[in-house]
Amino acid sequence: MARKPIESFAEAQRLAKRKMPKAVYTALISGNEKGSTIRQNPAAFERIGWLPRVARETREEQPLVRETATTALGMKLSMPVLPGPAGAQAIHPEAEVAVAKAAKEAGTAIGLSSFATKPMEEVAAANPNWMYQLYWTGTRDDILWRLERAKRAGSKALIVTLDATGGGLGRRDWGSPSIPNQVDLKAVFRFAPLAASRPAWILKFLAKGGIPDLGVPNSRSNPDREPAFAEVYAELMSTPVPTWADVEWLREVWDGPLVVKGLMRGEEAKRAVDAGADAIVVSNHGGNNLDSSYASIRVLPAVARAVQGQAEVWFDGGIRRGMDVAKALALGADIVLVGRLWIFGLAAGGQQGVHDMLEMVRDGLHWSLVGLGHRSFKDLSPDDIVAPDGFFFDPDTKTRLEDLELRRSRG
């Protein structure tokens, strides 16, 4: 009997909740503090309305053919969507390797987190179109060692995340997840009730010869020891946040494409371009950094305008369906990253669950283009949408959406 695909983000979330221990599921759905930003990110998309087109001037010979193929920093993609980096995803035995395989099957790339649980070499073997995401932890020598390793493993680009400033896993109204430094006997007894609550979940790991992996192999500073997530996270919180001089140094030592992630202001996007960024990511860290940060889709048009086509504009935050992708593309994005969408797909169905989420997004983007009368996603523009007054603005100039003249970087 053919397997029924997961058809929506909501379905993937329901399946994940049913399969996973409560504490693990809570860690996936939660943001920082009250979770204001994590709710606002997807809610902001609901306030964007389409202005569909109906009758055409001529009949289409192939009425349902729509162009979605594109490139990202030279990588060929079947659609302008890719799984973005997300750390500590030991929610399935195959973790990021399953995501990489699903992305390859869908014809797209993957961003791999410094805090991923699978080594970059395994991910590279599963999908050669991958990019290493760097958190600024440790010394420059530590960082240089990681970059050299990523280069040897074939990373197509370097993504440096600037918006990890200490607001992540610490203060949550619903309780903070407790992650041990290592799975010793004490930790086993402590977390035994959690595992017993969803025996099928833990049995998947045992069938693969182990238990959920708490190591972060891609944050090593040397080849001798693999640090634990809690250890590296503590290091991140104690390391001074990077400066623009640090970004410029990265540009000097990394000879491939450079992506600067976590920008919400036009002035900072321009600064990143001046520092040598080949792409910037409009993102508020998915609600896991500074709570009450503005929804990233609200500032996307202004940031895209500030870049003026000098770098690719990538977007991250709140994507739950293909129509959301179309809206982000209409407002200035060249590439859209998905995060919780693939996370819940992985939790619900492993590699196939991630594949289902990517194909669901592709299908939604296709039908958005059909309804709007466009043959290609590159034809999407602010003319296709209606949004409330003041919905989009530049945090620096308070520019309104109707005043924006986007110079898009795609040809």
Tokens (6 digits) for 6: 């997961």
Q: Three-state DSSP class for 133?
A: strand
Task: Exactly one of 285, 355, 366, 374 is catalytic; name it.
Answer: 285
Q: Three-state DSSP class for 216?
A: coil
What does R_g of the chain's alpha carbons equal in angstroms?
21
Neighbours of 19 (CB within 10 A): 18
Q: Three-state DSSP class for 90?
A: coil
Task: Report the b/e string of 79-115 with b at 16+ CB within 10 A.
Answer: bbbbbbbbbbbbbbbbbbbbbbbbbbbbebbbbbbbb
Contacts of 196 (CB under 8 A, 6+ apart): none
Tokens (6 digits) for 237: 């919180």
Tokens (6 digits) for 378: 């590159």
Tokens (6 digits) for 116: 């991923």
Please give the single-letter amino acid code of residue 232: V
- Per the annotation, the verdict on 92 as an active-site residue is no
d(CA 142, CA 324): 38
d(CA 334, CA 74): 13
DSSP state letter for 282: E
Nearest to 338 by CA among 311, 365, 367: 365
Length of the chain in residues, anyone?
411
User: 160 φ, ψ to 5°?
Assistant: -105, 125
- Enumerate the active-site residues: 285
